[in-house]
Structure 1
C-alpha cells in the first residue's frame, strides 16, 4: 500500500474533510500521517502519527483582530497568517517528509508548506480545498491585489528555494469538497468536485427528549465566533422565542444567554441535530452550510468574514436560503427570514437539489479514488 502525508493548518474547518479522507485511506490499507502546528493538529485529528510543524498558539483564530473587513481582512490573512504560517511550518514539514517518506502529500489550500516541501522533494502533491474561496479565482477582476498576492508567494518560494506555480493549486489534483451545483463551475482545470467529506464527530450530550415535535430551527455560529456573535445570538434567541409555531435551539458556546421558550446549549452533536432541523441559521461556515444542505435543510446565512460571504452568495444563488446582514439583523429580521425559508417551498427545493449533488459526488470515497490514482505515477509498484 501507499503513504499519504496530510499537511494542515490548525483550523477545525480545514481539518474536518481530511479526517474523513484519512479514515477511508486507512480502511483501504494505506498509511496516513498528519503534519501541522501542535498541539492543535493532534487534538483536531485524534491521529496516532502527527509530525509537529510550528506552534498552534501563534496561529490560533482567537488572535485575529475583530472587525476586519474587505482588503484589511485579506491583508491580515496573507501578511499576518498564511505567509508566516508557511515559514513556521517549513522545518517540521521538511522533517515529516524525510522521516515518513510519503508517496503523495495532501496540502490544505492554506498550508503552503506542504506544497513547498513536496515540490522541492519531487513528490506529487494534492491541494485540499476545504472551502470554495479560491476556486473561482475571485481576484481576477482586481489585478493589483492579485499581483500583490503573487509577490508574497514569490517571496515564499525564493526563501525556501522552490520553483513552482501558484501554491494554492496543485498541478496534479485539486480536491474541492463541494459541488458545482453549489459553488458554480471552477475555471481552474485541475479542480475535481468530490462533495463534502464528513468523519464522525466526537460525542456530545444532547437532551433529545426536549424536542417537542414543532419544526426545529437551529442557530449556530460555529466554534470560533463566540465573541463576535453575542449580539446576533441574542437577537436570534429573541426572534425564536417570539415564534410559537417553531422550536428554537441556539448554540451559545459562552453560556451567556438566558431566555424562555427556546433551547440553549453550549455544544451539540451538530450533524445529528441538523438532520432533525427544519431550518438552520448560521454564519456561513463551510462545514455548517454543507451539513445543512447534505440533509436538505434550507438556510438563513449571516456571514461574518472571510469566505462566508461567498458561501452565503452561493446558497442564495442556489435558491437554498436567504442572507442577512450579520452586523445589522435584529430579531424581527431573523424571524421574518426563518418564516420565509420554512413557508416557501422553493427554498426546500433548492436545498434538495444541492443534497442530490452532494450524494452523487461521492465524498471521501471519491477523494480517495482520486488520490490513489496518483500513486502509480509517484511510485510504480508501491504497496
Structure 2
C-alpha cells in the first residue's frame, strides 16, 4: 500500500474534490494525510483525518468586493496565493519529513505542495480543481502571463528547487482535471500528463443538515431553481441575489427558488411556496431535484450541476469564473448574464430559456454522461495509485533554507 499527502488551501471548493479522492484511496487500504489548515480540513475530509498544520490565513480576505478582471487576478496571486505558499512551506516540509509520502497530491493553486516536494525530491501530482488553468485563459490579458511566471519564479527561489524549470501549477508526472473536454473544449497543458476524471462528489452526495425537504413539495408543477454565489462571494452579491429572487417571484406558479445566502445579504425574506432562503445548503443533494441553477460560474457549482444534467444561468464575478462561464455557454449548457448589470428582467429571461428550451437540458445531459463515464474519485485514485507505485527518487530531508522555522504539527481530529 502507498502513502499519499494532500496539500490544500483553506478553500472549500478546492478541498471537497480532494476529500472524495482521499476517501477512495483510504477505502482501498492506502494511508492518507493532509497538509493545510486543520480546522477546515477536519470539517470537510471525514472522520479524524491526519492533518499536518500549516501556517496561513483561514480564507481569502481583504479583497475589495468590486475588484474584477486583471486587478482581481493579481490580488489573488500577489496578496493571497503567493503569501499562502510561503506561509505553508515549512508545514509542508515538516509533513513530508514526518509522513514520508510515496506521492504528494498538490492543489494546483497551492504551489507550496509542488515547490516543497520538488525541493525534497518527492514525486507529486497536481489536483486541478478549476479548469481555467487548463485553457489559454490569459491570452486576452497582456502582460499577466509574464507577471505570474515571474511571481512563481520568485516563489521557487524561496521554497522550491531553483534548478527546476517546469510550471509548478502542472506536475510533470500527472495532472488530475475534475472535468472533461465536453465542457472545457481544447486544453493547453504544458509539460504534464493530463487525465480527465470528471467531478469527484462521493463525500457530498448524502442529504445533510436540517434542510426542510418537504418545502420542495409545496408547489407541485413549478420548476425548482437553485440560486447560489458560492462560499467566497458573500460580500459581493446582495444586488444580484435580490434581483434573482425578484425574477423568480415574478414567475410565481412557474418557478420557485432555493437561495443560498451565507452572508445574510437578503435580510429577512419571508419564506413561501416560491422562495426559500437559507444560510447553507446540502447543495449536491438538492441538485437532484433542480430544473436550473443560477450561479457565479464557480467551477465546483458548475460541475456539480452538470453532473446532475442541470442547465445553468451563469453570472461570473472574477478569478476563473469568466473562463468557466464561457465553457458553459460554449457547450450549450447555459446562458450568461452580467453579474454587475443584469436585473430581474434579464435574469428571468435567462431562466425562462434554460428551463423551457430542451436544447440546454440536452447539452447539460451530454456533459453529465461524459462526467459519469470519466470515473470521478475512483478514476482519480487509480491514476494516483499507479503513479505512487512507480519507481521514484528517495525523499531528501536536508535543510530548506531560507525557509523560516517549521510550524507544522499533526492533528488527528478535534
Query: 1:53 maps to what in 2?
Result: 54
Query: 1:338 maps to what in 2?
Result: 351
Trace 1:246-325 onto structure 2 (pairs within 5 A): 246-255=255-264, 256-259=267-270, 261-325=274-338
Query: 2:396 maps to what in 1?
Result: none
Provide the rounded CA distance (Å) in 1 between the counterparts of 2:49 and 2:92. Answer: 17
C-alpha displacement at 1:44, in angstroms?
3.2
C-alpha displacement at 1:332, in angstroms?
1.1
Deviations 1:102-125 (A, max 9, x none): 000000001111111211121110
Provide the rounded CA distance (Å) in 1 between the counterparts of 2:226 and 2:268. Answer: 15
Deviations 1:211-238 (A, max 9, x none): 2322101111112222211111111111
Query: 2:373 maps to what in 1?
Result: 360
Provide the rounded CA distance (Å) in 1 between the counterparts of 2:133 and 2:124. Answer: 18
Query: 1:102 maps to what in 2?
Result: 101
Query: 2:124 maps to what in 1?
Result: 125
Question: Do 2:178 and 2:199's aligned partners in 1 also have CA atoms closer than 8 Å?
Answer: yes
2:196 is aligned, of 176, 193, 196, to 193
Trace 1:132-171 onto structure 2 (pairs within 5 A): 132-140=131-139, 144-160=143-159, 162=161, 163-164=163-164, 165-171=166-172
Question: Do 2:8 and 2:35's aligned partners in 1 also have CA atoms closer than 8 Å?
Answer: yes
Question: Do 2:104 and 2:113's aligned partners in 1 also have CA atoms closer than 8 Å?
Answer: yes
Provide the rounded CA distance (Å) in 2 between the counterparts of 1:254 and 1:113. Answer: 30
Query: 1:67 maps to what in 2?
Result: 66
Query: 1:25 maps to what in 2?
Result: 25
Q: Secondary structure at the match of 1:175?
A: strand
Q: Secondary structure at the match of 2:143?
A: helix
More displaced stretch, 338-347 vs 137-146:
137-146
Q: Secondary structure at the match of 2:132?
A: coil
More displaced stretch, 243-252 vs 260-269:
260-269
**In the alignment, structure 1 residue 7 sits paired with structure 2 residue 7:** yes
Moved beyond 6 Å, runs of 4+ = none
User: Relative to 1, partners in 2 of residues 1:257 and 1:199: Cα closer, same or farther, differing over 3 Å?
Assistant: farther
Query: 2:178 maps to what in 1?
Result: 177
- What runs of 5+ residues in structure 1 fail to find an aligned partner? none
Provide the rounded CA distance (Å) in 1 between the counterparts of 2:134 and 2:229. Answer: 24
C-alpha displacement at 1:208, in angstroms?
1.6
Q: Secondary structure at the match of 1:89?
A: helix
Provide the rounded CA distance (Å) in 1 between the counterparts of 2:214 and 2:139. Answer: 51
Which has a greater percent of helix?
1
C-alpha displacement at 1:209, in angstroms?
1.3
**In the alignment, structure 1 residue 226 sits paired with structure 2 residue 234:** yes
Query: 1:239 maps to what in 2?
Result: 247
How many residues are paired up?
378
Deviations 1:39-89 (A, max 9, x none): 3333333442000111334xx223322211122112111211121111101
Deviations 1:238-291 (A, max 9, x none): 111110212222222234141454222222211111110111111111111111
Provide the rounded CA distance (Å) in 2 between the counterparts of 1:159 and 1:119. Answer: 13
Trace 1:371-382 onto structure 2 (pairs within 5 A): 371-378=384-391
User: Relative to 1, partners in 2 of residues 1:152 and 1:208: Cα closer, same or farther, differing over 3 Å?
Assistant: same
Provide the rounded CA distance (Å) in 1 between the counterparts of 2:124 and 2:139. Answer: 25
Question: Do 2:70 and 2:141's aligned partners in 1 also have CA atoms closer than 8 Å?
Answer: no
- Please give the TM-score of this superposition, normalised by the length of structure 2: 0.88
User: Relative to 1, partners in 2 of residues 1:336 and 1:161: Cα closer, same or farther, differing over 3 Å?
Assistant: closer
**In the alignment, structure 1 residue 207 sits paired with structure 2 residue 207:** no
| Higher relative contact order (CA closer than 8 Å, sequence separation 6+) | 2
RMSD of aligned Cα (Å): 1.7
More displaced stretch, 7-16 vs 208-217:
208-217
C-alpha displacement at 1:300, in angstroms?
0.4
Question: Do 1:104 and 1:378's aligned partners in 2 also have CA atoms closer than 8 Å?
Answer: no
Provide the rounded CA distance (Å) in 2 between the counterparts of 1:235 and 1:140. Answer: 33
